[in-house]
Structure 1
């Protein structure tokens, strides 16, 4: 699964909704949410949100983009138009920075323009900034000066909240104890939560069975026996 696929799987809601109401906040992401939502009262002009694939970075970034009226920029193809927007004071979003996969000179100029133009810059990445392989000393200094916050691996509360929402979106009534049981036995990622809800839904429809504790237990055992592949 690619990083892009993971981001799409993560940012939850079957309709792909990225609204604030759809953002589930727990200990795992609370610090990042609180920092981003402080806009425009940030500690500085640059904020970086780092976290594993499927942790909610894109969802949080989308909420901020809409709130701040930010320009969304492709990290792999930063353009002169992006620089012009920063110089004009428009907030800038660069979502999904990958190590070595961005033009350092353009990013450096954008960061300088954000500072002088009075806007803000939010960057997200699955990698801590120290692993971005930045070769330009001045750019490395700018990035090191950014306020960086990490989103942790999903905790039980977040996985349960996500799965509860996904089942509700499908109009499926599943007991809370069943959701807790499944959440405690799957890979700790929101992509896995999304996948298992989809597969449980399909399996219950195919077998014309309600998603009970026994049904879910058999499903999870089948998953384990197939070493991570769903046999249902």
Structure 2
């Protein structure tokens, strides 16, 4: 698994893969590069923990796994669904073992309501890393990446056409690609064009209708 950056700084968290395995890529852009940079410098953390928050399908679990593979640390994924006692002990264990813990949740406090005072104080002392809604460049890159993953051949102008119209969220991009894949299967082709996409996505709430 690899992190790809299209910026000037290459941020990589390599992981050995078996021969023939397909790589998963975490795509870096202005909306998430601060979080990646912090994870890449885990040796300088003031506490042996960080809280990673972001929307659905933002790649937060993939990023956490890449981080654990590089750092030797541990992950508390979907931490807001853990019992507070379990998470409290995991945070303390990370400090005692000097082994970084990455806590992954939907949101940080106070949106994430923590009842246990000792856990709340520890999470409040933990740096928060945010995966924001994707910026324009990341949306375009993500569209092309997903098309490639699904072995769909997108006309050069299609990615730009979609990137200007799709809702600004990781989940919306994924759903649009899935809709186009389904349409391509119905048409028995792997080739995608703007006219075909316009017809397939007419009325789709994830696109700005006025720009169709």
TM-score by length of 2: 0.77
RCO higher in 1 or 2 (8 Å CA, sep ≥ 6)?
1
Change (3 A) 1:148 1:219: same
Out of 42, 45, 68, the position equivalent to 2:45 is 42
1:92 aligns with 2:74: yes
Check whether the contact 2:179–2:201 (CA below 8 A) recurs between aligned residues: no
Contact 2:76–2:87 (Cα < 8 Å) also in 1: no
Q: Is the 8 A contact 1:18 1:59 kept in 2?
A: no
Per-residue CA distance 1:83-137 (angstroms, 9 max, x = gap): xxxxxxxx32101122xx3322332222222212211110111112322221222
Cα contact 1:47–1:146 (8 A) shared by 2: yes
* Corresponding residue SS for 2:153: coil
User: Higher helix share goes to which structure?
Assistant: 1
Greater Cα shift, 191-200 or 158-167: 191-200
Q: Which moved more, 1:205-214 or 1:35-44?
A: 205-214
Structure 1 contact 18–62 (Cα < 8 Å) conserved: no
After superposition, the CA RMSD in angstroms is 2.5
Q: Deviations over 1:191-216 (max 9, x none)?
A: 32222223212313423564212222
Secondary structure of the 1:130 match is coil
Q: Tell which deviates more after alignment, 174-183 or 49-58.
A: 174-183
CA distance in 2, matches of 1:170, 1:113: 41
Q: Which moved more, 1:117-126 or 1:127-136?
A: 127-136
Alignment match of 1:58 (pick from 58, 61, 68)? 61
Q: Are the aligned partners of 2:133 and 2:170 in contact in 1 as well (CA < 8 Å)?
A: no
1:223 aligns with 2:204: yes
Q: Is structure 2 residue 11 aligned with structure 1 residue 24?
A: no
Equivalenced residue count is 187
Report the CA distance between 1:224 and its aligned residue. Answer: 4.4
Describe the superposition over 1:114-165 as per-residue Cα deviations: whole angstroms up to 9, x where unpaired. 2122111101111123222212222211111101111111122222111101
Return the alpha-carbon distance in structure 2 between the equivalents of residues 168 and 151 of structure 1: 23
Conserved in 2, the CA contact under 8 Å of 1:18 and 1:63?
no
Deviations 1:25-74 (A, max 9, x none): 001111111111112332321101111112111111010121123xxxxx
Q: Does 1:114 align with 2:94?
A: yes
Please list every run of 5 or more consecutive structure 2 residues that lacks an aligned counterpart in the other structure. Answer: 1-20
Cα distance in 1 for residues equivalent to 2:124 and 2:68: 23
Q: How does 1:1-232 map to 2 (within 5 A)?
A: 19=24, 22-69=25-72, 91-98=73-80, 101-208=81-188, 210-224=191-205
Q: Does the residue aligned with 2:44 lie in a helix, a strand or coil?
A: coil
So what's the TM-score if we normalise by structure 1?
A: 0.71
